[in-house]
Amino acid sequence: MPPSHIFIGRLTRDYTLFPLGQPRLDSAGGAPLHASGGLAVWGDSSPGLVARAGADYPREWLKDFAARGFDTAGIRILPDALDQRNFLSYSESFELTRMNPVAQFSRLGFSFPKALLGYHAQAETLPALAPPAKISPALADIPADYLNAGAFHICPLELSAQLQFADTLRGVVRTLTLDPASASMSPLALKELRGLLNGVTAFLPSLEEISALYWGQTRDPWEMAAAVGAFGCEYVVIKCGPRGQLLYDAVSKRRWEIPAYPARVVDPTGAGDAFCGGFLAGYQKDHDPLEGALYGNISASLAIESVGPFAAVEAMPGLAQARLNALREMVREI
């Protein structure tokens, strides 16, 4: 069957250090994979991936994606090698750093992998309209039949890339959700964000990202959500990590607090992306944003309990539904 949900973003080759246990070196990663895993938890949706991969990207990974039911027709293989390395290191409290991999490997007593020589982390901030990197997908990478899908999610990318995708997709697809890149969330980007979010179904930033956007103006997340909602998106979901999510309906002005479902953290990589995939799965059932937030919450809870982008999919059958039923009783409208 053609894909029903499309995820646009970057594929990465992850090198991950955990507070305990062995490092995970050169493994498949990237927001579209984690988001697709969050969607696939709910079993009745077919995800398609729009991304790029270098000529050196492992073909067995692509075969694995397809074997899991993910449509890979939108993954463009470039003729040259592409630097898709992504370094992540977690402290004992699961705080994330991407800086200084040599020091992080030394701290934990592991040999530094030669594959990370010359690695440089992405800039923490970017000019508002910095051009897309070669690793980022472009409009031309979307297969024509993908435009028949019911829902698109734009994963974190340069603001310029997200603008191109949103300008093309809004009005063409019924459901369009967007997760910003942390590097582009600054007060200097407010003008571009107004254009980006007009007509978007749901904007899904983290609390840190939306706070950076309104730095020095307000500390109230509900004020931030209302300000973003005024740009023309229907719903704003602020992902607050272990505190759960805040959901704001920009049309009705209703507000909900959804606590994070209790889960044992093993690997928090991509939890926010898994939430976005789960949000689409729940929202598309009856176009209810609260249902979307509940599904996303459970997808994230399952994702962090094991390692890799498909951790949530591999959870025990029935566990997601059981958690969903329990979470419904914890929601608070304010």
Q: Above 80 in pLDDT, residue 148?
A: yes
Q: Above 90 in pLDDT, residue 126?
A: no
pLDDT confidence tier of residue 127, bands split at 50, 70 and 90: low
Out of 3.40.50.12780, 3.40.1190.20, 3.20.20.220, 3.40.640.10, which CATH number does the structure's domain 5-12+31-78+127-333 have? Answer: 3.40.1190.20
Separation CA 152–CA 312 (nearest Å): 20
pLDDT confidence tier of residue 307, bands split at 50, 70 and 90: very high
The pTM score is: 0.96
How do residues 6-53 score in pLDDT, each as one tens digit? Answer: 999 999 999 999 998 999 999 999 999 999 999 999 986 789 999 999
> What percent of the chain stands above pLDDT 90?
89
Q: What is the DSSP letter of 46?
A: -
Cα–Cα distances (Å) from 226 to 137, 158, 229, 236, 252, in that order, read 31, 24, 5, 8, 11
* Mean pLDDT score of the chain: 94
What are the DSSP E strand ranges found in 143-278? 151-154, 175-178, 202-203, 235-239, 245-249, 255-258
Q: Above 90 in pLDDT, residue 316?
A: no
